[in-house]
Amino acid sequence: MAEVTYLEALRQGLREEMRRDERVFILGEDVGRYGGAFKVTEGFFEEFGEARVIDTPISEAAIVGAAAGAAHLGMRPVAEMQFIDFISCAYDMLTNYVATARYRANLACPLVVRGPCGGYVRGGPFHSQNPEAAFLHTPGLKIVCPATARDAKGLIKAAIRDDDPVLYFEHKYLYRRIKEQLPEDGDLVTPIGRARLALEGTDLSIITYSAMVWKALEAAQVLEKEDGLHAEVLDLRTLLPMDDAAILETVKKTNRVMIVHEDTRTGGVAGEIAARINESAFEWLDAPVLRVTAADTPLPYAPTLEDFVLPQTADIVSVARKLAAY
Amino acid sequence: MAEVTYLEALRQGLREEMRRDERVFILGEDVGRYGGAFKVTEGFFEEFGEARVIDTPISEAAIVGAAAGAAHLGMRPVAEMQFIDFISCAYDMLTNYVATARYRANLACPLVVRGPCGGYVRGGPFHSQNPEAAFLHTPGLKIVCPATARDAKGLIKAAIRDDDPVLYFEHKYLYRRIKEQLPEDGDLVTPIGRARLALEGTDLSIITYSAMVWKALEAAQVLEKEDGLHAEVLDLRTLLPMDDAAILETVKKTNRVMIVHEDTRTGGVAGEIAARINESAFEWLDAPVLRVTAADTPLPYAPTLEDFVLPQTADIVSVARKLAAY
Amino acid sequence: MTARPAAAGRKAVAGIPAGLGRAQLLELYYFMRLTRSLEERLANLYRQGKVIGGLFRSLGQEADSVGSAFALDRSAGDMLSPLIRNLGSLLVMGALPVDVLRQYMAKATSPTRGRELNVHFGDLERGFIGQISHLGDMLPVMAGITLTFQLRGERRVGLVYVGDGAMSTGAFHEGMNLAAVRRLPLVVVAENNGYSYSTTLERQTAVPQLVLKARAYGVRGERADGNDVLAVYDVTRRAVDRARAGEGVTLIELVTYRRKGHAEHDDQHYVPKDELARWERNDPIDRFVRQLTDSGWADAGELEAADARVAGELDAAVQAAQGEPLPEPASALEGVYVEPPRQAAPWQREVTRG
Amino acid sequence: MTARPAAAGRKAVAGIPAGLGRAQLLELYYFMRLTRSLEERLANLYRQGKVIGGLFRSLGQEADSVGSAFALDRSAGDMLSPLIRNLGSLLVMGALPVDVLRQYMAKATSPTRGRELNVHFGDLERGFIGQISHLGDMLPVMAGITLTFQLRGERRVGLVYVGDGAMSTGAFHEGMNLAAVRRLPLVVVAENNGYSYSTTLERQTAVPQLVLKARAYGVRGERADGNDVLAVYDVTRRAVDRARAGEGVTLIELVTYRRKGHAEHDDQHYVPKDELARWERNDPIDRFVRQLTDSGWADAGELEAADARVAGELDAAVQAAQGEPLPEPASALEGVYVEPPRQAAPWQREVTRG
Ligand SMILES: Cc1ncc(C[n+]2csc(CCOP(=O)(O)OP(=O)(O)O)c2C)c(N)n1
Ligand SMILES: Cc1ncc(C[n+]2csc(CCOP(=O)(O)OP(=O)(O)O)c2C)c(N)n1
Ligand SMILES: [Mg+2]
Ligand SMILES: [Mg+2]
């Protein structure tokens, strides 16, 4: 066992897959000689060579489109978006070409698009985005959002092995802040589509994913200490397809649910989850499903503003109290 | 009063605004000499000239970006997407540039992007889309979806006059199928952000918009005749900002709600509505909020398949019965 | 008509350009005729309401599609990606007319099982890949296909079509540039047919010739008469050979003309009558027939035999396709992912349909 | 150093190229120096942790920014859109150093009220428009700005910068093509500084010179030494004049060099040392100073006075900006739309923050 960061875990996962399967290759801006803007692919160029770690022009649509073409022929491309915010430039390619390939043309399209998402880093409106809601709406895609180092590794490996296109959103705030002991050998794969119970509890459920898992756990500690409340924290890990069984289970257990995400509220992933809970477990609810999310604004740069717009631990605590008291 | 189609009503609204305000101009593919793929701007080139009805290259990002530049300087551009499916090519421009302009840079961006959306016309996966959910998630945009000829006219006029960017999704199935008596003079403007009670009822509420309003009304007739149930039909008309007050009112009145949209289910607009109802009117609900939507697939071409994937009147009836019996 | 004496045929064969033989010339003729006749059958079916969606014609552009696709080496695993006006290319690659008919009529038996329309279908085995409607998107995809050839050290070549209109898209630019930077074995065929929907070339681009765009990408540019099937073959073949030899991308402009409206519903009122008449006189099949017979490369009997073969094949295909059923409704839910969702998903329809 | 005799000055003035006068040469010098010194101040603040986000330098590219922006006619209402390395252009257009400092330090008083970072801000009055990060997007936007000039019959000109890397984006292509087709009064300045982040030019494009891309759009192409401020001014001025005269778009390639890493955190380990040294010897300010003094267009005293002015202004600006507060938290919710939502919206935060 060695302690590795979230970023190092991701890097390990990528490296192991590239060693295991020569069909795997990486393409993106500055991923080669430079090792990627956040150094996720550092050392890869040296180990795997230019043909498997490909620096591209600044062309997100072409990066994703080329990955799709390669995937059709049996390759396993992993495309990096330098910041995930730039995935919007490949929106057409992902939603219209990639996502539909199997359905409309029986074309396999096993590619991964990954990149750093998320705020709390003073990145301003174009280096902090959380694009999951924009793609949740697209049948044919899968979406994973690791919160832990273990899942950073396990989900990238699963994503690469998956026979369908997977969007892998890694949270840049967690890159170097999260550390975990991981086994040095053995094949650590996190199954896509399965949530993880991050904390067992009985009084209320916090359904969340990505960096918010940590805020939820922090909030749970406060609630336990200050209110004697036992919050359960469900880390979804995969958003598409969603682990409905795990959601149902926690709802049935606590009967009080809140959903926490970093993304803006309107049209965010929480709406979908709330609707599903409503449809499948209405009679189990003792209180309305509540949401803690970012406010509906572009994400501002100034620390005072960013902190105000993004969800904070205190927000989770306060909504949890409201829920518990309902 | 003259009877006009939905399409003619839209055309009238556009024409009246162009006559009223010389800052209004149109740009898009084949909108000029040809009059637009669906002939929405037929006759405009002749009346307003080349400078106000501009044929562009096939470049959705440039069309929207240029509209934004013009809007900053006080113009009132109306950009046509030949089919709304191609708005995905301008996704970055709309979500990152246009939607944030006021917030990040205090730049006014009063533009309209409009185009034919929707299925039931055997258009296949790339000529039938409903992109509202992709943009609901973007603070800074407004989204309108007229269901009636009156609102086709009233909302295009309101959209053009609005000081913020508005996406106007017109349903191509309704173009020539819907007719209505409209006053020949007078300034018919539908306020953005206000829903319309399409049918009063007491037993359950059907919240919907665009072409589905007509299916909901059909279903309401069946329910009345066959079950003696009085369904209320709320036509949202604007999705962003949403008319929360109207939603709340109908929920409080009937205590049983279903949401109907043509778009796919997961990540669709219905999730957001369900979450809002949950948050603001949980105690008024006598039953779970249910959804009738398209299935989660790309929209297939064959009539048998398209009809199966898209929501039909019978689906609304059957879910309404379930809701009433809950 | 009497058949030419064999001697004349032999004499002329020596002069066939571009390294082609007589049998290949007849194949070219066959595919051009097949393309045109199949579209005529489709137009009939369209008027009878049997084509479900729109119908797109390549009348007058058959040489462009057939000649360029013919330059690929199917046995080497070359691949292409067609557009709506490249029915001819599909047929050359081995697509069956009956499958095209099934596509247009949305049959259960169609290659996309009724999911996609017209020539939006592909076949990896036969070496073509289905387009989507969003113009320009196939450039990046074909860059990825040819990148794979390159990475694997396979001597295969890719060919992608792009219209004069589609060249204005961002996707075209990004894909073209990526292919150029990596010197991928890709041939880009720019079909200059004068129009994109109703938009004339000068409202689409400020360059008088599409081939000039090659310079912006640092790739070789070529230009040929798109209505001369042998010229098309020749220019494409040289580009294919260069690509196979590792010399990278060629952008070929084929000058041709769209003799029908954008789709069958479009009455082309915006097109000058004399322009249409001029291009009618420049029909690529007529031209090729004259060339074949004048040069003694084929005799009338051979052409008639080819025509008869086309007619027979199409009779059978129309016959076969027409009677076939539409897809089963519930099949619409299959195949969004390789595996169906792990559990009964609450987001599936609440109701079962009859 | 002693001042040159006035006579020498007068004699030399006659030889100033590009129709410039002595006062303008001093202005050019002032803006280049101001740009460099302001960035040096920012680098200091960055090291002190007072800059909140990243810091982008234009060291060695000041001539490119200043010379090109200087060619616009601000009194005529000309407009430009800068990129991260065009601080110099902003200053020429009248942006205040204190506002730049406020931006980097995310102050409440900054032009974007703390919402956007670094030089991502605009000022319609002063004639510049704020960029977003997504590269290439400003091309279509500036096409719309100049389309408006054209539609209104205003004799105003727009200028937009694009990096060698950003030219690979689809947005660049679409905007450039639209501007070309409509012959908009737009000058496109392609800054060839050798790198996009770590990516060298030959991995970004297969053309050796960016100016070759002009041909694909049917626009005029020009190329100039981006480290020679007078050459930059001259080539841009001619393009601006042509644009104003209705002669359409010019693409200008300015050849320069990025002497710092992509941003302050980037140590440029991928850059050959001798390459850096070579370009250090080609510093645009040093070159201009030599030119000014050798030609007798300015004397050392004047340059010292300009330096002193810059230092004084920056002292004051840093002083002023540093003490200013960050924005009020709740101000984050204002201004998403022109009007706040009609009613208390349930999607607003449930909780109020302290
Ligand atoms: C991105 C995008 N925008 C708009 C359209 C609508 N559209 C379909 S075909 C067409 C014209 C295409 O012209 P061209 O590329 O010259 O091909 P041609 O029809 O002449 O073969 C247009 C505008 C589209 N399919 N994709
Ligand atoms: C669409 C998009 N993709 C990626 C990025 C990330 N990025 C920011 S600057 C940069 C390099 C830009 O290079 P260039 O255009 O040459 O400008 P320079 O930095 O040299 O001035 C990259 C890749 C971005 N901002 N936008
Ligand atoms: Mg064309
Ligand atoms: Mg550069």
pLDDT tens-place string over residues D199-247: 999 999 999 999 999 999 999 999 999 999 999 999 999 999 999 999 9
**Ligand 1 first shell, C-beta below 6 A:** B 29, 58, 60, 82, 86, 89; C 83, 85, 133-135, 163-166, 169, 191, 193, 195-197, 258, 262
Residue C346 has pLDDT above 50, yes or no: no
pLDDT tens digits, C8-25: 444 445 589 989 999 999
> Could you give the number of structural domains in chain C?
1
Mean pLDDT of the region A64-69: 98
Q: What is the pLDDT of residue C341?
A: 62
CB distance C93 to C31 below 8 Å: no
Please say if the pLDDT value at position B2 is more than 90.
no
Name the residue of D64, D81, D196, D255 to mutate for ligand 2: max ligand atoms within 8 A of Cβ: D196
If residue A113 lies in a helix (H) or strand (E), which one and from where to where?
A: strand A112-117
Provide the pLDDT for residue D6.
43
* C340 CB within 8 Å of a chain B CB: no
Phi-psi region of C210 (alpha: psi -120 to 50; beta: other; left: phi over 0): alpha
Q: How confident is the model over B244-260, as pLDDT tens digits?
A: 999 999 999 999 999 99
Kindly report, as residue ranges, where domains of CATH 3.40.50.920 are found in chain B.
196-325
Q: Which of D168, D173, D220 is most worth mutating to test chain C (most C CB atoms within 10 A of its CB)? A: D173
**pLDDT range class, residue D5, cuts 50, 70, 90:** very low
Of the pLDDT bands very low, low, confident and very high (cuts 50, 70, 90), residue D343 is very low
Report the residue among D87, D197, D203 best suited for mutation to probe ligand 2: largest number of ligand atoms under 8 A from its CB: D197
CATH at C189: 3.40.50.970
* Interval B87-113 mean pLDDT: 98
| Ligand located closest to C166 CA | 1
Is the pLDDT at C351 greater than 60? The verdict is: no
Q: How far apart are the two ends of chain D, measured CA to CA in Å?
A: 60
The Cα–Cα gap between A53 and C88 comes to 38
User: Could you tell me how many residues make up chain B?
Assistant: 326
Contact at CB, B66 and D143, closer than 8 angstroms: yes
Cα dist. B236→B146, B239, C71, C202 in Å? 9, 7, 56, 43
Mean pLDDT of D282-307: 97
Is the pLDDT reported for residue C7 higher than 90?
no
Confidence at residue A185, expressed as pLDDT on a 0 to 100 scale = 80
Answer for the pair D51, D42: CB distance below 8 angstroms, yes or no. Answer: yes
What does the alpha-carbon distance between residue B164 and residue B110 come to, in Å, rounded to a whole number? 5
**Would you tell me which residues 131-160 of chain D have a C-beta closer than 8 angstroms to some C-beta of chain A?**
132-136
Residues 200-219 of D with CB under 8 A from C: 202-208, 212-219
Q: What is the pLDDT of residue C340?
A: 78
pLDDT confidence tier of residue C105, bands split at 50, 70 and 90 = very high
- Which amino acid, residue D92? V
Interval B151-187: pLDDT, tens: 999 999 999 999 999 999 999 999 999 999 999 878 9
Cα Rg of chain C, angstroms = 21
What are the pLDDT digits (tens) for D116-135? Answer: 999 999 999 999 999 999 99
The answer to whether residue D26 sits within a structural domain is no
C-alpha span between D262 and D254 (Å, rounded): 18
How much is the pLDDT for A34?
A: 96
What is the tens place of the pLDDT at every residue in C287-308?
A: 999 999 999 999 999 999 999 9
| Residue C312 within any structural domain of the chain | yes
Average pLDDT, chain B: 97
pLDDT at C2: 40
Q: Where are the beta strands (DSSP E) in chain B?
A: 2-5, 24-28, 53-55, 76-80, 112-117, 142-144, 166-171, 179-182, 196-199, 204-208, 231-235, 238-240, 257-264, 290-294
The answer to whether C141 contacts A25, with C-beta atoms less than 8 Å apart, is no
Locate all alpha helices (DSSP H) within chain D, ordered by sequence. Answer: 6-13, 22-47, 62-70, 87-93, 97-104, 138-152, 170-181, 201-204, 214-217, 229-244, 273-280, 284-294, 300-322
Which residue out of B55, B87, B301 would a mutagenesis test of the C interface target, given it has the greatest number of C Cβ atoms within 10 Å?
B301
Chain D: closest CA distance from residue C173 (Å): 6
What is the least distance, in Å, from the CA of D75 to any CA of chain C? 31
Asked whether residue C316 is assigned to any structural domain, the reply reads: yes
pLDDT at D3: 41
What's the confidence (pLDDT) of residue D10? Answer: 47
Ligand nearest to the CA of C262: 1
Q: What is the pLDDT of residue A186?
A: 81
> Are the beta carbons of C135 and C179 closer than 8 angstroms?
no
Residues of chain C positioned with their CB less than 8 A from the CB of B305: 106, 114-115, 326-327, 329, 331-332
Gap from CA of B65 to ligand 3 centroid (Å): 24
- The reported pLDDT for the residue numbered A2 is 87
pLDDT at B113 over 90: yes
pLDDT recorded at residue D288: 98
Q: Locate CATH 3.40.50.970 in chain B.
A: 2-182
As a whole number, mean pLDDT of residues D82-106 equals 98
Is D347 domain-assigned?
no
Cα(B143)–Cα(A143) distance, integer angstroms: 26
Name the DSSP class of B224: I
Q: Is the dihedral of CA B33, B38, B43, B47 positive or negative?
A: negative
pTM of full prediction above 0.90:
yes
pLDDT digits 0-9 by tens, A86-109 = 999 999 999 999 999 999 999 999
Residue A86 and residue A128 in contact, taking contact as beta carbons nearer than 8 Å: no
| Among B72, B127, B137, B261, the one annotated catalytic | B127
Please name the residue whose Cα sits nearest to atom 13 of ligand 2: D196
For residue D178, how far is its CA from the centre of ligand 1 (angstroms)?
A: 16
Nearest CA in chain A to B297: A139
Q: Which ligand is nearest to the CA of C261?
A: 1
Q: A103-113: per-residue pLDDT in tens?
A: 999 999 999 99
> What's the rounded mean pLDDT across residues A257-273?
97
Q: Which amino acid is it at C44?
A: N
**Predicted confidence (pLDDT) at residue A134 exceeds the cutoff of 90:** yes
Chain C touched by A75 (CB under 8 Å): yes
Residue B194: is it exposed, middle or buried by C-beta count within 10 angstroms (0-12/13-18/19+)? middle
**Ligand 3 centroid to C204 CA: how many Å?**
10
Domain presence at residue D13? no
Q: According to the model, what pLDDT value does residue A184 have?
A: 82
Residue C107 is part of which domain span? Answer: 37-331
Q: What is the mean pLDDT of residues B19-35?
A: 97
CA distance A293 to A259: 8
Residues A266 and D347 sit within 8 Å (Cβ to Cβ): yes
Which pLDDT value is given to residue C12? 45
- Chain D residue numbers with beta carbons less than 8 Å from the beta carbon of B105 are 112, 116, 120-122, 129-130
Atom 6 (ligand 1) nearest CA: B82
**Which residue numbers of A are catalytic?**
127
Interface confidence (ipTM) of the complex: 0.97
Q: What is the model's pLDDT at position D14?
A: 53
From the list D147, D148, D343, which residue is nearest B245 (CB)? D343
Establish if C135 touches chain D: CB-CB under 8 angstroms.
Answer: no
List the CATH code of the domain at A196-325.
3.40.50.920
Amino acid at C130: G
Task: Kindly state the average pLDDT of the residues C240-249.
Answer: 98
Report helix, strand or coil for B262.
strand
Does residue D24 belong to any structural domain of this protein? no
Clarify whether B137 is annotated catalytic. no
Contact D174 B61 (CB under 8 A): yes
Q: Is C345's pLDDT higher than 70?
A: no
Residue B245 contacts C where some CB pair is shorter than 8 Å: no
Token code pair at residue B51: 């400078």
Give the atom of ligand 1 at the shortest distance from the alpha carbon of A92.
1
In a domain, D14, yes or no: no
In a domain, C8, yes or no: no
Which residues are close to ligand 4, an ion, with C-beta < 5 A?
D 163-164, 193, 196
Alpha helical stretches, state H, chain C: 6-13, 22-47, 62-70, 87-92, 97-104, 138-152, 170-181, 201-204, 214-217, 229-244, 273-280, 284-294, 300-322
User: Under CATH, which number does the domain A2-182 receive?
Assistant: 3.40.50.970
